[in-house]
């Protein structure tokens, strides 16, 4: 599988396996290890986590599985996120990007994964109360201590990215953003352009729009399904899943879609998309179908 370079000594697999729903899959440690092996055999070596996933249980479940084959740790890249806290004493989620919280969160993640380093740590959401100086201090401490190799962000817009980057002596390596043929916000507001400008390959969450493309009955979803079916037939794909992944994969931003499924057949569809021919004309047919009008 193609590798995407994020730094001199860091590459990700072009497809990333997402573990946000890991706790819902009902897998034993042995079954989860089998899924990890399935991914590794297909060249998917990058695994995406967050401290809060599965009500703070997904990291430890992954760690329990990995403990059955600890040598596999060197064959993969572990990404995790911090900064969201839920629930607060007021019964709602809040953000905490303080130095103490970031460091404590990483320490817990290391224990959960049963490893001594995280490949990439992301700030999970923009924090309106963020002190960038504290975030930078936490990143520096974690990097100096060898606990985190590289850092990035998730769901940051241009101003938020540039603010945090201005306090750091090293570059952020990725921005994990939402993007799909159904949800175009990050194309429209310049976030994808920022990734291209900074030469930063984005991780892409919800590349299938959380299944909305398959089930929603709004005009956009209906139009898209028709166009995706047409392109699927032209390209020789088995399902429109493959077309949706391919639509992101052919984009020059070097997007890395996160495949958040515990089902092998769905992972296989994403892998097949890597070799799916998709022309510029087909890409624009899908774009215009989503927009509801031709490009100006």
Active site positions, annotated: 53
Buried b (16+ CB within 10 A) or exposed e, 134-153: bbbbbbbebbeeebbbbbbb
d(CA 148, CA 85): 21
Residue 284 has which token pair? 């624009």
């Amino acid at each position: 599988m193609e590798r995407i370079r994020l730094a001199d000594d860091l590459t990700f697999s072009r497809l990333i396996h997402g573990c946000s729903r890991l706790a819902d899959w009902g897998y034993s440690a042995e079954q989860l290890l089998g899924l990890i092996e399935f991914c590794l055999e297909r060249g998917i070596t990058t695994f995406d986590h967050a401290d809060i996933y599965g009500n703070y249980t997904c990291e430890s479940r992954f760690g329990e599985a990995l403990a059955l084959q600890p040598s596999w740790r060197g064959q993969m890249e572990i990404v995790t996120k911090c900064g969201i806290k839920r629930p607060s004493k007021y019964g709602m989620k809040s953000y905490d990007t303080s130095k103490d919280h970031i460091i404590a969160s990483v320490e817990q993640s290391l224990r959960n994964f049963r490893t001594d380093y995280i490949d990439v740590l992301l700030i999970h959401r923009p924090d309106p109360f963020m002190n960038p100086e504290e975030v930078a201090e936490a990143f520096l401490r974690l990097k100096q201590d060898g606990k985190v190799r590289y850092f990035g962000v998730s769901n940051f817009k241009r101003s938020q990215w540039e603010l945090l980057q201005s306090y750091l002596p090293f570059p952020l390596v990725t921005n994990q953003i939402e993007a799909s043929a159904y949800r175009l916000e990050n194309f429209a507001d310049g976030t994808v352009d920022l990734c291209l400008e900074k030469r930063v390959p984005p991780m892409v969450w919800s590349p299938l729009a959380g299944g909305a493309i398959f089930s929603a009955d709004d005009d956009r979803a209906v139009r898209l399904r028709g166009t995706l079916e047409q392109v699927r037939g032209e390209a020789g794909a088995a399902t429109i899943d493959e077309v949706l992944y391919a639509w992101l994969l052919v984009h020059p931003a070097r997007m890395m879609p996160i495949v958040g499924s515990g089902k092998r057949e769905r992972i296989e569809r994403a892998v097949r998309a890597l070799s799916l021919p998709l022309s510029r004309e087909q890409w624009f047919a899908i774009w215009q179908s989503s927009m509801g009008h031709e490009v100006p």
